Amino acid sequence: MKYFRHIKLPFEHDFSELAKWDDLPDNLGYSVRDADFLGQQLIDTLAQYGIYFAHIALFHTPPRKMLPIHTDTYILPNFAKLNFVYGAKGSSMNWYKLKPGYEVVPVVTDDQKRYRTPTGSNVAYVSIPGSACTIAARTSVGTPTLINAGQPHSVLNNTDEHRWCISIPLRAISDDRKLEFAEADEMLKDLHA
Ligand SMILES: [Fe+2]
C-alpha cells in the first residue's frame, strides 16, 4: 500500500500566506473554500494531467497538538488529496493499519455538507483509537505531497510553530470521479519529486 508521494510543481508559487487566513478556529481548524482560491496556475498545471478540484480545505494544527487518527470518509477507500503544508517543519503525517478484527465506526454529525452513509447517517470522518492500529507510514508533508486520505491517518505537530495545511481532493476531468491514490499517482508521474 502506498500512502504518499512528494510532488514537484513546474512553477514557483508561495501559497503560505493563503494558509494563514485568520478565520480558522484556534484549535484543529477546518474550512472549505472555492477552487479558485489557489489561483489559475495550479488549476492549469493539474488540468494538463487530466485532474481538477472543486474545493479545497484548510487545516490548522497548533504547536504541540495532534490531529487524532481518522479516515476522511466512513469507508476505507484510497482516495487522493494534494496537500501543501506550511510551518511546523518536522511535524509529521502518519498512516496506520487496522489490527485484525477492528471494525470502523462512523462518527455521526449534523453537518449536511459532509458524507452520507448507505443507511442515511451523515458522517464527517471516522475516528479510530490508537489501540486499534499499528503504524504503517510516516512523512513530513511538503509543498505539495500527494496523500492517501482514505486510510487511517493522523497529524502530529511536535514543534513550537503553527502548522497550516491546504488540502485538495482530486477529481478526474474525464468523468468527474474522485481519484484513488494509485490513479492520481500514475497521472502525475511526470511530477514525482
Ligand atoms: Fe484527514
- How many angstroms is it from 190 CA to the middle of ligand 1? 26
- How many angstroms is it from 43 CA to the middle of ligand 1? 22
Find out whether 67 and 127 touch, Cβ atoms under 8 Å: no
Residue 27: per-residue pLDDT = 46
- How many angstroms is it from 145 CA to the middle of ligand 1? 14
- How many angstroms is it from 32 CA to the middle of ligand 1? 14
- How many angstroms is it from 7 CA to the middle of ligand 1? 19
Residue 119: per-residue pLDDT = 57
> Could you list which residues have their CB under 5 Å from ion ligand 1?
72
Residue 74: per-residue pLDDT = 63
- How many angstroms is it from 124 CA to the middle of ligand 1? 10
Residue 38: per-residue pLDDT = 81
Which three cell numbers mark 51? 485532474
- How many angstroms is it from 77 CA to the middle of ligand 1? 13
- How many angstroms is it from 72 CA to the middle of ligand 1? 5
Q: Which residues neighbour 30 within 8 Å (Cβ) at sequence distance 6 or greater?
A: 24, 57, 58, 59
Residue boundaries of the structural domains of the chain: 4-191
Q: Which residues neighbour 71 within 8 Å (Cβ) at sequence distance 6 or greater?
A: 104, 125, 126, 128, 149, 150, 151, 152, 153
- How many angstroms is it from 125 CA to the middle of ligand 1? 8
Find out whether 158 and 142 touch, Cβ atoms under 8 Å: no
- How many angstroms is it from 70 CA to the middle of ligand 1? 6
**Residue 54 burial by CB count (10 A; 0-12/13-18/19+): exposed, middle or buried?**
exposed
pLDDT along the chain (193 residues), means of 10: 95 80 57 71 95 85 89 78 94 95 68 51 70 96 95 94 91 94 98 97
CATH of domain 4-191: 2.60.120.10
- How many angstroms is it from 13 CA to the middle of ligand 1? 24
- How many angstroms is it from 102 CA to the middle of ligand 1? 19
- How many angstroms is it from 149 CA to the middle of ligand 1? 6
